[in-house]
Amino acid sequence: MSDYKIIFLDIDGTVLRPDDQIENSTKTAIAKAQQKDIEVFLATGRPLHEISDIAKELHIDSYIGYNGAYAIHKGKDVLKEPMKTSTVNRFLTIAEEQGNEMVLYTNKKNLFTSMEDPEVQKFMKIFHMNKNERYSSENLDPILGITLIKLSENDPLLYEKVDNLHLSRVNVNGLNHCFDVIRDTVNKGFAVTQILEYLNIDKESAIAFGDGMNDKEMLSVVGEGFAMGNADPNLFAYAKHRTTEVTNSGIYNGLKTLGILR
């Protein structure tokens, strides 16, 4: 077995099943990896202020959030990369013109352009979001990430013209018209690279698991990148390995093929 030192795990569709539960095999896999002194990070598009219950259940205290804009290692900030104000303002204008909704994430709150829209309420419910407020231009907290809600077929092209960024469809059942905003220079892959440098770990010693297109950069910058069996089919091209589904011990089986688990 190679000297693996760190694992990065996406949450939705990778750690969490569609029913919001975590398989016992996943808990076992993470615990056994930690017993071998392998660092484990959660790496998610979610805001970090909304994942404490998941982290606690898995005994994980290091995270990448907001699709790579903010990372914490054992309570210490490793990086924080807010979005440009000009980009945020342009997105707000497009959303108003197109009748789209959006949530803007700070490191404390989820700021929604609407609190009443049924699609917004569905989004809040699916992700169990609690720290929600109506967005106001008077908010001065830096925006770390954005998710666009209720987009029609041609709307993504309007946003992708704004800056060096692209949209990634949220790979969760029931949210077909929601997209995460992924910056070309600030994404999960960028955050993973920064963490590896911070911890002095080479990429060959790093493992990552993901299921959505917002994971493609992360899977590309580690030595062992795993796409879940339930992943967006377009993700497989960016992964070195394909494991089983999140509902079929995907993380456990992936780590087993590397010899970390028996």
Q: Can you give the residue range of the structural domain that contains 227?
A: 6-81+186-257
pLDDT tens, 222-240? 999 999 999 999 999 999 9
CATH code of 19's domain: 3.40.50.1000
% residues pLDDT > 70 (the chain): 99
* The last residue of a domain, from among 150, 183, 216: 183
The most distant pair of C-alpha atoms in the chain lies apart, rounded to whole Å, by 55
Please say which residue of 183, 215, 237 terminates a domain.
183
| Count of the separate structural domains present in the chain | 2
**Residue 192 falls inside a structural domain:** yes
15: nearest Cα among 60, 47, 69: 60
Both 89 and 149 in one domain: the answer is yes
| Six-digit token string for 216 | 């493609």
The answer to whether residues 138 and 201 belong to one domain is: no
pLDDT over 90 (residue 118): yes
For residues 161 and 190, state if they share a domain: no
Mean pLDDT value of segment 70-91 = 96
Regarding whether 38 and 108 lie in a shared domain, the answer is: no
User: What whole-number distance in Å separates Cα of residue 49 and Cα of residue 219?
Assistant: 24
Angle made by CA atoms 14, 240, 260, in degrees to the nearest 5? 65
- Residues 157 and 206 both lie in one domain: no
Q: What pLDDT score does 28 carry? A: 97
**Average pLDDT of 20-26?**
96
pLDDT value for 250: 98
pLDDT band at 2; cut points 50, 70, 90? low
Place of tokens 């909304």: 50
**Which of 149, 183, 217 is the last residue before a domain boundary?**
183
d(CA 235, CA 246): 15
In the chain the first and final C-alpha atoms are separated, in Å, by 11
181 CB-side CA count, 13 A: 30
Contact between 100 and 221 (Cβ < 8 Å): no
**What is the average per-residue pLDDT within 95-124?**
96
Looking at residue 1, what is its pLDDT?
43
Query: What share of the chain in percent tops pLDDT 90?
Result: 93
Mean pLDDT of the chain: 95
Mean pLDDT of 121-132: 94
Does 125 share its domain with 246?
A: no
Average pLDDT rounded to a whole number, residues 162-176? 87
pTM above 0.95, yes or no: no
Candidates 111, 12, 106; CA nearest to 54 is: 12
Mean pLDDT to the nearest integer, 3-10: 97
Structure confidence by residue, pLDDT tens digits, 132-166 = 999 998 888 999 999 999 999 999 999 999 989 99
User: Can you list the positions of beta strands (E) in the chain?
Assistant: 6-9, 39-43, 62-65, 70-73, 76-80, 101-105, 110-112, 132-134, 145-149, 165-169, 179-183, 206-210, 224-227, 241-242
Instruction: Give the β-pairing of 101-105 and 6-9.
Output: unpaired
Angle at CA 125, nearest 5°, toward 121 and 126? 120
